[in-house]
Each structure stands twice: as C-alpha cells, then as structure tokens.
Amino acid sequence: MSIQAHAYMTLNPSFMEPEILMQYSQASGYLDLLADGQIRVRLAEDDLVVYMKQLNLRTKMAAGTASSNELPGVDIQATMFSAPTYLLKVRSQWDHHDVAAGGRWGFAVPEAYRLGGQQANFQLARDFCLYGANPLNGEGLVNAPNAVAVNLPPDSNGNTTVLTYDNGQMAFYLAQQVQQIKTRTYQMGIGREFTIIGPQRTLGSFEYNVVQLVQFQRIGAGTASTAETLKKIMESNNDKLIWTYDDTLIGQGYQGADLVIIAMPTVANPMVDRQSTNIFANKMKPGSAVNTTMYADMAAPREIISPMAGGATDMVQEWRITSGWAPRGTALQLISMIY
C-alpha cells in the first residue's frame, strides 16, 4: 500500500503528453458464466450462508382393467443445500502529501486507490467464481458437483492438441458438447444461451483459423473459422453463443492441459397447454431457472472512509460474496485441451 510518485526533472522547452499510459490486464469474461450475466445481489451484509431448497418428485401409479383397492401415492422429498459466504476486505491510506505527489503526475490519488481496491475485489471474486475459496469442498464452477469433465479426444488424423486439431472437427466437437448439455438438462428443441470461456491462446486459435474444404462440404468450409461455424450451427437451433476469455484457465485442466468451460447459465421451463409429463415443474411455484450463479451483498464493494490522526484518510472496501455455485452442475461441461 503505497504511492510511488517521485519527483522528476524535465528538459524545457518540451511537450508533456497529458494522457497516461495504463497497465492493461485481462478483463475476464467469467460473469457470462452466471445466470443473467451478473452476480446476484441478494445477501445482507452479515449473511454467513446461502441456502437453496429443492423438491424431488417420484410418482407411482396403479393401472388395470378393474379398479384397485390398494393404491400407491406420490412421493415428494424436500431437501436443502448451501454455500458459505466470505467477506473480502482491502484498505488504503493517504494524506495530503500523497495527493500532491499524485497531482504532479497527473492522477487523483483517492480515485486511484478506490479503483485499485475495486479491481482487487473483482479479481478475487473471479477466482472465487471459477475455483472457489475452498476447492476441496466443491466450491467454484470448476469443482462443481455433477459438472461433466472430459478430455479432448483425438481427431480423425490422431491429433490431440489445439494447434494440430482439424478445424472443422473441432467445431463439430464443441457443437456436440453443447448438445450434450441440452440433452442432460432436457432442453432439446428449446433455444438457450451458452457461454464458452477459455484461455486466449486456446479459444483465440478457433477464431483465427478457417474450416477446410475436404471431401464433403462443411458448414462454412473454406471461409468460416471454427468459432463461426459453431455459432452458425447453434443459430440454426435458436441457441445464442457468448464467446469469452480468461487466461487463468491455462493449465487448469487434466494433467496441466488448458481448461475450456461450456456453461448454460439458465434452464427454460417450457409451459405447455397439453397434458405435460413435466407439469409438476412447469406449474409448481416458485421455481428457479438458475444453473450457475454467485451471490453478493451489493453490486460493488462498500467504501468506508474515515479520518486518521495527522490529517490522513483511511478507506476500507469490503464485499461479502459466495464462491461460484452450480445448483445444476449438469449444465457445465469442463473440457481439458492440450495446447
């Protein structure tokens, strides 16, 4: 916690560029993995645990040409599962000398500390979302129970790495993973939104390649990339694809492979007017459509600013969040890809 804005000498006449060269870091797309594309702001500042209720239905029937005297019934089981919350805190302190030093360099010290503290919170929230505060407890989307983890299989030529894989076969493989998620969650025939996130070096190669012309005409062959071919396949099924990046997924797959995550953040509850075989979930209220989510007590960290002795200022930023949570882990596909 320091401001390193030293005195400097310049040669005049000269021109001082008013704009500051900023150190850019990757803006992770992890929020696109969550329902509604954002953290759910539902916690109170002192909530220690998030609970979610679940109803499981099992039905039994009697059928026969004559009436039965002993009849089976409907079994409804109520269960509950939970996720702990964590309080993130960061502190900044400055005085009028720091403000003056920052002014010589052309930046506002209080704003720099405020934005720096927010970035610290948001980066740790990303880590909590993907990997969890306590991974061994199944926290984080990467460690979610019931999430399906697979390794990239060889293509028809025996290639197993991202850089050597057949571009068209990669598009079809990713499309199969999307279809498997829809099959597991009973969403076939319904347009859904999917997010694919992975390292730049892995997913980037799927955007800057071309699906080859081979013995038969593939969708977009000769003009479209792997990513574009996948999008066209999904669009024909009324699906929407969000393609985004996070380089912390480098080496997070099986035996050090890169990890690519495919998620369907929400599930659809199709309402039908006919005798639905899923009428219990269709009409029982209130039902949740959330597959993957994360909770916080507010949209951004709280700022607690107070004076200190000697004219200094103290600012504490705090934020209560959960790790990434997948109530329906079957909506997650974790693919290990050797780069």
pLDDT of 115-134, one tens digit each?
999 999 999 999 999 999 99
Average pLDDT taken over every residue of the chain:
91
pLDDT for the residue numbered 187: 93
Q: Is residue 10 part of a domain?
A: no
Q: Is residue 290 part of a domain?
A: yes
Instruction: Determine the structural domain holding residue 108 and report its residue range.
Output: 33-62+72-268+280-337
Name 326's Cβ contacts closer than 8 Å, sequence gap at least 6.
141, 144, 145, 146, 147, 291, 292, 293, 332
Give 106's pLDDT tier (boundaries 50, 70, 90): very high
pLDDT tens by residue, 284-310: 888 889 999 999 999 999 999 999 998
pLDDT for the residue numbered 213: 63
Q: Is residue 244 part of a domain?
A: yes
Q: Is the pLDDT of residue 261 over 80?
A: yes
- Give me the phi and psi of 137, to 5 degrees please: -90, 10
Q: Is residue 22 part of a domain?
A: no
pLDDT tens by residue, 200-214: 999 999 999 888 765
Question: Which region among 2-11, 71-80, 269-278 has the lowest average model confidence (pLDDT)?
Answer: 269-278
pLDDT for the residue numbered 220: 56
Q: Is residue 20 part of a domain?
A: no
Q: Is the pLDDT of residue 217 over 60?
A: no
Q: Is the pLDDT of residue 222 over 70?
A: no
Provide mean pLDDT across the span 315-335: 96
Name 66's Cβ contacts closer than 8 Å, sequence gap at least 6.
none
Domains identified in the chain, total number: 1
pLDDT for the residue numbered 248: 96
Query: With the C-alpha atoms ordered 111, 117, 123, 125, is the resulting torsion angle positive or negative?
Result: negative
Measured CA distances, 41 to 38, 82, 277, 296, 312 (Å): 9, 16, 34, 5, 33
- Give me the phi and psi of 262, to 5 degrees please: -115, 125
pLDDT tens by residue, 63-93: 888 888 888 889 999 999 899 999 999 999 9
Please state, in angstroms and rounded to a whole number, the distance separating the CA atoms of residues 309 and 315.
14
CATH number at residue 183: 3.90.1690
pLDDT for the residue numbered 216: 37
Q: Is the pLDDT of residue 23 over 70?
A: yes
Q: Is residue 83 part of a domain?
A: yes
Question: Which region among 24-38, 56-70, 74-88, 150-164 has the lowest average model confidence (pLDDT)?
Answer: 56-70
Q: In the structure encoding, which two tokens stand for residue 229, read together?
A: 């071919």
Give 270's pLDDT tier (boundaries 50, 70, 90): confident
